[in-house]
Amino acid sequence: MKFTVYLQSFTLSVLIFPRVQPTTRKPPDALSLTVDGYKPVAVFSGTAKEAIAKFPKNINVAVTLSLAGLGVDQTRVEILADPRPIP
């Protein structure tokens, strides 16, 4: 089951949901990558702590959520390189 967690309700969500996994979508050039085609590509999946080390300029919202909730070692993060234009 997947839930969307908004920052205002994050504290309540931590009490209800034992696992939170933010997914960050970035244009490939923001991650210094090139992607063939128009589908998002998963470039990282791991803990928030690992994401901080690998993508320090692109993961601030997910890290903020992890610090406010379960912690950087317990929060799982996914980063997608998404070539589609942001609406």
Where residue 68 falls among pLDDT bands split at 50, 70, 90?
confident
Assigned domain for 1 exists: no
Question: What predicted TM-score, i.e. pTM, was given to this entire model?
Answer: 0.73
Assigned domain for 41 exists: yes
Contact yes or no for 52/72 (Cβ under 8 A): yes
For residue 11, pLDDT beyond 50: no
Assigned domain for 35 exists: yes
Select from 33, 10, 29 the least CA-distant residue to 20: 10
CATH number at residue 73: 3.30.360.10
Q: Domain range for residue 59?
A: 7-81
How many domains is the chain built from? 1
Assigned domain for 86 exists: no
Edge-to-edge order in the sheet of strand 41-47: 23-26, 76-81, 41-47
Assigned domain for 68 exists: yes
Q: The tokens of 9 are what?
A: 């309700």
Q: Higher confidence at residue 28 or residue 85?
A: 28
